[in-house]
Amino acid sequence: MAREPDRRREPIPRSRFSNGEYRKIIRHCRSRIDALNPVRPYNLDDLLSKWEAHTGRTVQLMPMSLRQGNLTGLCLSSTATDYIVFEQDAAQLHRLHIIYHEFGHLLCDHRSQELDIKVSSLLFPTLDPMTVRRTLMRNCTYSDRQEQEAETTAYILMESLFAPSAASTASNESTNPAHRIAESLTIPNG
């Protein structure tokens, strides 16, 4: 019997990557997600608690007004906590995408070298940007491949919100797509 073709859309344009390289990125992101053994459809609370159990680190979601620049989100890490900063005024679905994108950087173990001065000024307006930069030694700029991985991870996680699941047929409420989306978009207080 012939297999049905995979009709899932590709996460984002991949003009910089060959088909083979792009497929590797998708497999890599899926394997990172699967390593946490999350429930489907993916749920932010479940993913974060699985991440915390897996790494021994806590995750703190930090809504902020980031409108002064073109930044919509970033992740920072301290010794024991990962911080996901996201645009508080973004639409609910966009906010979740931003959080999943930044979570993708954590999940794929992305590292960067230094904090951008603009980002430093947005996050810590009362501190000298160079002091913050030297202290945190982080930056929101990643390589093209790292951005592709983070965006692919976000897409895979978001995609599950709209895909039917076997568990969703258990009750009328859980088969209602609007109900499933609303429950999935609940952002924990943190």
Domains delineated in the chain: 19-112+144-161 (1.10.10)
Question: pLDDT of 31-50, one tens digit each?
Answer: 999 999 998 889 999 999 99
Nearest alpha carbon to residue 76 among 111, 41, 117, 50: 111
Alpha-carbon torsion (156, 31, 87, 50), positive or negative? positive
Contact 112, 133 (CB under 8 A): no
Nearest alpha carbon to residue 99 among 43, 52, 41: 43
Among residues of the chain, what percentage have pLDDT more than 70?
Answer: 61
Question: pLDDT of 44-80, one tens digit each?
Answer: 999 999 999 999 999 999 999 887 667 788 888 877 8
Contact 154, 3 (CB under 8 A): no
